[in-house]
Amino acid sequence: MMKVMAFLAKKDGMNTRDLIEYYENQHVPLIARLAPLPSVYKRNYILRKDDSSTKDDFDIVTELVFPDRGVYEA
């Protein structure tokens, strides 16, 4: 099993609701068309009360799990 974790930040000025809308409805389908889907593809969004982020923050934690390195590299 191979697990990949990605910590992603939204563009400056983008709010969390727009980020989630874009990621789920544009990014995820694009990835699904371009590459085989992993066994696990989880997206966790960081929700903040004031919808802000600083330079060091991340807004999405994405987890991808593949059965082995060969499937990941494909």
DSSP characters over 25-46: IIIHHHHHHHSPPPSEEEEEEP
As a whole number, mean pLDDT of residues 11-34 equals: 92
Question: What residue spans define the domains of the chain?
Answer: 2-73
User: What is the pLDDT at residue 28?
Assistant: 93
Q: Is the CB of residue 9 less than 8 Å from the CB of residue 36?
A: no
pLDDT at 51: 65
pLDDT digits (tens, 9 = 90+) for 41-59: 999 998 887 766 566 689 9
Confidence of residue 60 (pLDDT cuts 50, 70, 90): very high
pLDDT at 35: 85
Q: How much is the pLDDT for 55?
A: 60
Q: What is the pLDDT of residue 2?
A: 95
